[in-house]
Amino acid sequence: MTRADTMTSPADAIDLDEVALLLDIDGTLLDFADTPREVWVPPTLRRTLGGLLARTGGALALVSGRVLADIDLLFAPLELPAIGGHGAELRVAPGERSDPARTPSLDPMVKRKLAGVAELGRGVLIEDKGYSLALHWRLAPDKGVAVTAMVQSICESFPDLPLEAMPGKAVIEVKPAAFDKASAVAELMRLPPFEGRRPVFVGDDVTDERVFPILPPLGGFGFAVGRDIPGTAGSFAGPAAVRAWLDGLLERGA
Ligand SMILES: O=P(O)(O)OC[C@H]1O[C@H](O[C@H]2O[C@H](CO)[C@@H](O)[C@H](O)[C@H]2O)[C@H](O)[C@@H](O)[C@@H]1O
Ligand SMILES: [Mg+2]
Q: Which band of pLDDT confidence, cut at 50, 70 and 90, is reported for residue 101?
A: confident
Cα of 127 vs centre of ligand 1, distance in Å, is: 10
Please list the residues that pair with 236 across neighbouring strands. 225
* Atom of ligand 1 at shortest range from CA of 137: 19
**Residue 33 CA: which ligand is closest?**
1
- Nearest to 94, CA basis, from 55, 51, 61, 67: 61
pLDDT tens by residue, 105-129 = 899 999 999 999 999 999 999 999 9
pLDDT value, residue 11: 77
pLDDT value, residue 123: 96
Kindly name the residue from 5, 17, 24, 128 that is annotated as catalytic.
24
* Atom of ligand 1 at shortest range from CA of 203: 4
Cα of 26 vs centre of ligand 1, distance in Å, is: 5
Contacts of residue 232, Cβ cutoff 8 Å, sequence gap at least 6: 212, 221, 222, 223, 224
Per-position DSSP letters for 53-64, written without gaps between them: HHHTTT-EEEE-
**CA dist 38 → 21, 35, 96 (Å):** 25, 5, 27
Task: Give, for ligand 1, the residue of 23, 24, 26 to mutate: max count of ligand atoms closer than 8 Å to Cβ.
Answer: 26
- Amino acid sitting at position 153: S
| Domains observed in the chain | 11-101+179-251 (3.40.50.1000), 108-176 (3.30.70)
In this structure, the residue with its CA closest to atom 8 of ligand 1 is 26
Q: Which band of pLDDT confidence, cut at 50, 70 and 90, is reported for residue 39?
A: very high
Residue 253 predicted with pLDDT over 80: no
DSSP H or E segment with residue 47:
helix 43-55
In this structure, the residue with its CA closest to atom 15 of ligand 1 is 32
How far apart, in whole angstroms, are the C-alpha atoms of residue 83 and residue 180? Answer: 10
Segments of 92-213 assigned E as strands? 125-128, 133-136, 163-167, 171-176, 198-203
Residues framing ligand 1 (Cβ under 6 A) = 24-27, 32-36, 39, 64-66, 127, 134, 136, 138, 168-171, 205, 207
Cα of 196 vs centre of ligand 1, distance in Å, is: 30
Please list the residues that pair with 172 across neighbouring strands. 135, 167
Residue 71 Cα to chain centre, angstroms: 10
Cβ pair 202, 23 in contact under 8 A: yes
Cβ pair 22, 61 in contact under 8 A: yes
Q: Read off the pLDDT of each residue in 70-96 and give the average, rounded to a whole number.
A: 96
Active site annotation includes 24: yes
In this structure, the residue with its CA closest to atom 7 of ligand 1 is 65
**CA dist 120 → 36, 133, 185, 196, 253 (Å):** 19, 16, 36, 49, 51
Cβ pair 66, 25 in contact under 8 A: yes
pLDDT tens by residue, 224-234 = 999 999 999 99
pLDDT value, residue 104: 81
CB-hemisphere CA count at 13 Å for 10?
Answer: 16
Cα of 128 vs centre of ligand 1, distance in Å, is: 12
How far apart, in whole angstroms, are the C-alpha atoms of residue 99 and residue 49? Answer: 24
Q: Read off the pLDDT of each residue in 31-42 and give the average, rounded to a whole number.
A: 97
Gyration radius of the chain's alpha carbons: 18
In this structure, the residue with its CA closest to atom 14 of ligand 1 is 36
How far apart, in whole angstroms, are the C-alpha atoms of residue 81 and residue 70? Answer: 14
pLDDT value, residue 254: 63
Cα of 195 vs centre of ligand 2, distance in Å, is: 24
